[in-house]
Amino acid sequence: MGGTSIVALDAMSGDRGPQVAAAAALASLAQHPSLSLIVVGQRETLEPLLASGPERFGSRLRIEHAAEVVAMEEAPRDALRKKRDSSMRVAINLVKEGQAHACVSAGNTGALMATARYVLKTLPGIDRPAIISSIPAIGGHTYMLDLGANADCTSEHLLQFAIMGHVVAADIVGLAQPRIGLLNIGEEEIKGTEMIRHAASLLAASGLNYVGFVEGDDIFSGAADVVVSDGFTGNVALKTLEGAAHMLSRFMRDEFSRNLFTRTLGLTALPVLRSLKVKLDPRRYNGASLVGLRGIVIKSHGGADDVALGNAITTALLEVRKGVPTQISELAQRIQGQLTLTASN
């Protein structure tokens, strides 16, 4: 998609509030000349924070008033039914109405998914939306989905997740044929549940670059560009990764501060540690996509700072330019048509 890309930014949701959203908005506008932002939230709060914006960016920045805020602990059902003028709902409505090409929010994941699915609906050929994000891996990173939207899945859902992962990896990373792995408890064909084994047969017949079952350690090995799982397993794997990273960081800090000798070693290793910190910085990977919807919705981490939120805005911009929803729908319908034809012969 050429020309200006318009992103609606939910500025009130998340743990850090509108100050972070305003800083990310101004920095993103400066970084991306083709970006326009509609910053959604309580006007009286946002106007002072964005006071420099009109002079610097003109019509590329505007505020859309929304009186309510969805709390991080709020039940998705309550957010959907009782908060129709929330910054989250208004931002998604702007996508539905065609005033914005994408929405970015750091708010409550359940409420964001429920609201986005209700307002935007799913794409033709897609039964359920999924959450996809990139995860650091050897040689680069791996895209993984579903990361928590769907605890119970069928084999057909996993096929659809693979289709969505293929499009995202192909568009964002530029891979012609992303390698797709199906997360399982072993690599052998006899391993896993009947549902997983049936999903494997669908993937093998899909025409996608399916490389077979992958185990948990393969998520980070670079063996696959896209790892597919149900949302329960995917979310557990993601939280395990985050916990392991925090534990490793704590262990290293404790060891390097044990005594004068280890502190000296720590100073010697400082350049390597700084490089490692940059590679594993979660801000670089902030911006999970709610794929499968008739519109682009990016979920930022609730505790994201302005740099991380800016990366989520960049992800939205990339998906707008590539027309990710259209590509997902076209590929899903084509593959499902091929499988139906094969089954009938």
CATH number where 94 lies: 3.40.50
At 214 the pLDDT is 93
Write the CA distances from 135 to 122, 217, 249, integer angstroms.
25, 12, 17
How many domains is the chain built from?
2
Sheet holding 180-183, edge to edge: 61-65, 35-41, 5-10, 102-105, 296-299, 288-291, 130-137, 140-145, 226-228, 180-183, 210-214
| Rounded distance between C-alpha atoms, residue 14 and residue 306, angstroms | 12
Same domain (yes/no): 86, 189: no
**Which of 283, 302, 336 is the last residue in one of the domains?**
283
| Rounded distance between C-alpha atoms, residue 184 and residue 204, angstroms | 15
In CATH, what number is assigned to the domain containing residue 239? 3.40.718.10
Same domain (yes/no): 111, 154: no
Same domain (yes/no): 155, 232: yes
Contact in structure between 92 and 74 (CB atoms under 8 Å): no
At 301 the pLDDT is 84
Confidence (pTM): 0.86
At 270 the pLDDT is 65
Same domain (yes/no): 303, 266: no
266 in any annotated domain: yes
Same domain (yes/no): 189, 324: no
Ranges in the chain, pLDDT < 70: 1-2, 266, 269-287, 341, 343-345
Provide the 8-state DSSP code for 123. P
| Rounded distance between C-alpha atoms, residue 68 and residue 339, angstroms | 46
Q: Please tell me the chain's helix, strand, coil percentages from 3-state DSSP, rounded to the nearest 5.
A: 50, 15, 30
50 in any annotated domain: yes
Contact in structure between 219 and 137 (CB atoms under 8 Å): yes
Same domain (yes/no): 180, 67: no
Same domain (yes/no): 180, 311: no
Same domain (yes/no): 269, 324: no
At 207 the pLDDT is 92
| Rounded distance between C-alpha atoms, residue 159 and residue 107, angstroms | 28
319 in any annotated domain: yes
At 15 the pLDDT is 86
Contact in structure between 306 and 24 (CB atoms under 8 Å): yes
Range of the domain at 183: 137-283
198 in any annotated domain: yes
Same domain (yes/no): 209, 111: no
Q: What is the phi/psi pair of residue 33, to 5°?
A: -60, -25
At 45 the pLDDT is 96
Same domain (yes/no): 279, 152: yes
Query: Coil, strand or helix: which one is 325?
Result: helix
132 in any annotated domain: no
Contact in structure between 300 and 106 (CB atoms under 8 Å): yes
Helix (H) or strand (E) holding 18: helix 18-31
Same domain (yes/no): 249, 300: no
68: Cα separation from own chain's centroid: 24
Phi-psi region of 146 (alpha: psi -120 to 50; beta: other; left: phi over 0): beta
**Which of 266, 283, 300 is the last residue in one of the domains?**
283
26 in any annotated domain: yes
Write the CA distances from 117 to 26, 113, 130, 259, 297, integer angstroms.
29, 6, 10, 54, 10
Same domain (yes/no): 32, 114: yes
65 in any annotated domain: yes
Dump strand ranges (E) for 148-218. 180-183, 210-214
Torsion, Cα 267 271 275 277, to 10 degrees, reads 20
Instruction: For the chain, give the longest Cα–Cα distance.
Output: 74
The residues that bridge with 8 in the sheet, in sequence order, are: 38, 103
| Rounded distance between C-alpha atoms, residue 227 and residue 215, angstroms | 10
At 87 the pLDDT is 96
Mention every residue, 6+ apart, whose C-beta is less than 8 A from residue 329.
Answer: 123, 124, 125, 126
336 in any annotated domain: yes
| Rounded distance between C-alpha atoms, residue 205 and residue 155, angstroms | 13
Q: Which tokens go with 139? A: 């040689």
**Which of 283, 303, 323 is the last residue in one of the domains?**
283
